[in-house]
Structure 1
Amino acid sequence: MTEVLRRVNPLAKYGAVLPVFVAVILSKGLALPAGIALASVLVLLSCSRQPLRIAVWVVLGLPLLAATFMMSLAVWTPAPPTEAPLFALGPLSWSPTAMLTAAATGARIAAILALALMVGLTTDTRALVRAAVQNLRLPYRIGYAALIAFEFVPHLRTEFQTIRLAHRARYAAVAASRRFELRRVLGGLTIPIAIFAGGIRHAERVAVSMETRSFGLHERRTERAQEPFLRSDWLWFIGLLALYAAVIGFTLRSS
């Protein structure tokens, strides 16, 4: 497996996937979203190198998610009164019509998630913002403000891990029988407060840093990295559109 999909301009991937999102949302049957989900998973796993944990989650988690939505939604989907249920569990019953309708809904959800994973797992947020600013002429004030918001979540995750390690080191010498005392349990409830305070300090540092760099003063800013839309990006854009168009055409013709 190669990392070729990570080197594609993010706009090519997003531009090819957005109309497919609309097609999946507007679809009614089961075959079209199922085909889109399968094609997205194959592209993701064949054109990018993913950790084994993520690959297993994608391969097993998407069908399990679709099956969960199918079984749960089928209970609440009305069926013809003369139709006999496939099986029943107490007051709950699952009819063929309800199962088919719910399966189509679950497949649409799985297809949307597969498309999002195919693009999201192979795209750097910084590259996406740079590509939008440089190629779509998105105002850098909007682009980099969004990038700061995206980067805030990993910062909070790092803060949480640091605080959790500090708590673990603090109670390392405490006997296991005393770690669940009330004052120590209540002390763990202060973690959200510490994360909130750390987030405020981080926001202040970012604001000062942006101010010292005259952010927003000029119409344009010099970019350290460039994200040009190359001929290969056009080929990927056309290729992804052709792949999904072929899947949609095949499923519509066979249904």
Structure 2
Amino acid sequence: MTDAGPLTATTAAHSTVDPYARRVAASPVRFLYALNPLAKLAAPIPAMVLLVFVRDAATPAAFLLLAYAVLLMGVNFTRRLAAVLLLAVPLSAVVIGFGFALWTDASRVDQSVVVWQIGGWTMYGGALAVGFATGLRLAAIVALTLIAGLSTTGPDLVRASVQQLRVPYRIGYTALAAFRFVPRFGHELDVIRQAHRVRGAHGGHGPFAAVARWFGYIVPLLAGAIRHAERVALAMDSRAFGAHPDRTERHLVPWRVRDTVFVLAFWAVSAALFAVFFPWGLA
């Protein structure tokens, strides 16, 4: 009973530092969490590749709606997801659309309608069409990547790559160990900030005080990173990591029938959308 407190505290600390340690708890209705990570990557990749070569606005808009429908049905609807889908992606598409409209060569669209004119500079409707088509295309590609990004954890992606794609586990788990350094750095930086705040080091306001504070964070952060890297290396060596051609998996990520059904269904819907809009023309 005496060890329960420290053990619980250690577990809580690790659950805070490593957001990829366990799966997301979700309703069975949210089907994306139950799919193989490779299925969620393979399904939208053909559409993402073909969207690079389209130039109209209707096709990426249709795929943007498709990605939104899959996300709203397949993942937990949170405030962050709402902010991304309803604010960040549309706003980015509008900003990119205006930016590309300004960069469009006016000599190629000077036969279109004049939207506004300031002095010798003219904004044509054709330039706006090109810009917003580009913004929609990029927004659709980003939304399709979110299908896997919002419902997949790092360990599951590594396990699926090792088990289904036959990626050498030395590469997969080494990359995963390096990837987990990022939340660890965030935790250690927070601890260093609290320690400096308690000691009253590098106080004050203004840009020079901020620069002094950040320089004070560098040395202890690097020292902590080196200690953490040494501990990870010793832990991997003690478990004979890399000594054998394969390793036993405690947690399997199988490819099931539902993964095949999802991939084929997504490919069929994507092909139907491209066939309906056919953005490349026949001329």
Aligned to 2:217: 191
Could you tell me how far 1:67 is from its partner in structure 2?
A: 0.5
Q: Quickly say closer, same or farther: Cα 1:69–1:219, change in 2 above 3 A.
A: same
**In structure 2, do the counterparts of structure 1 residues 20 and 149 end up closer, same or farther at CA, with 3 Å as the change threshold?**
farther
Please give the alpha-carbon distance, in whole angstroms, between the structure 2 residues aligned to 1:78 and 1:130.
48
Distance 2:177 2:136 in 1: 34
2:15 maps to what in 1?
none
Query: Which of residues 209, 213, 218 in structure 1 aligns to 2:244?
Result: 218
Q: Hey, what does 2:231 align to over in structure 1? A: 205
Q: Give matches, 1:40-119, under 5 Å.
A: 40-80=67-107, 81=110, 83=112, 85-88=114-117, 93-119=122-148
Can you list the C-alpha shifts for 1:112-159, whole angstroms capped at 9, x where unaligned?
A: 111111210101111111011111211111111221232222222222
Q: Look up the SS of the partner of 2:167 in the other structure.
A: coil
**Preserved contact between residue 35 and residue 251 of structure 1 (Cα < 8 Å):** no
Asked if the contact 1:20/1:244 (under 8 Å) is kept, the reply is yes
Counting aligned pairs with the same residue, the percent is 38
Alpha-carbon shift at residue 231 of structure 1 (Å): 1.1
Structure 2 partner of 1:249: 275
**How far apart, CA to CA, are the structure 2 residues paired with 1:192 and 1:144?**
27
Q: Deviations over 1:194-246 (max 9, x none)?
A: 33332222222212211111111101101110011011111112222223223
Structure having the higher helix fraction is 1
Aligned residue-pair number? 251
Unaligned runs of 5+ in 1: none
Which deviations, in whole Å up to 9, do the C-alpha atoms of 1:58-104 show, x marking residues without a partner? 22211110110011121111123455631245776422111111112
Letter in 2 for 1:207: A
CA–CA separation in structure 2 for the residues paired with 1:68 and 1:44 = 23
Hey, what does 1:17 align to over in structure 2?
44
Unaligned runs of 5+ in 2: 1-26
What's 2:264 paired with? Answer: 238
Alignment of 1:100-179 (within 5 A): 100-171=129-200, 179=204
2:63 equivalent among 36, 55, 70 = 36
Q: Secondary structure at the match of 2:130?
A: helix
Q: What is the aligned partner in structure 2 of residue 180 from structure 1?
A: 205
Task: Let me know the Cα RMSD of the aligned residues.
Answer: 2.7
Q: Are residues 58 and 199 of structure 1, via their aligned partners in 2, closer, same or farther at CA, if it must alter by over 3 Å?
A: farther
- Worse-matched range after superposition: 115-124 or 142-151: 142-151
Runs of 4+ in 1 over 6 A off after TM superposition: none
CA contact (8 A) 1:77 1:102 kept: yes
Residue type of the partner of 1:235?
A: V
Given that 2:59 and 2:277 are in contact with CA atoms closer than 8 Å, whether structure 1 keeps it comes out as: yes
Larger relative contact order (CA 8 Å, sep ≥ 6): 1
Q: Give distance in 2, aligned partners of 1:195 and 1:95.
A: 53
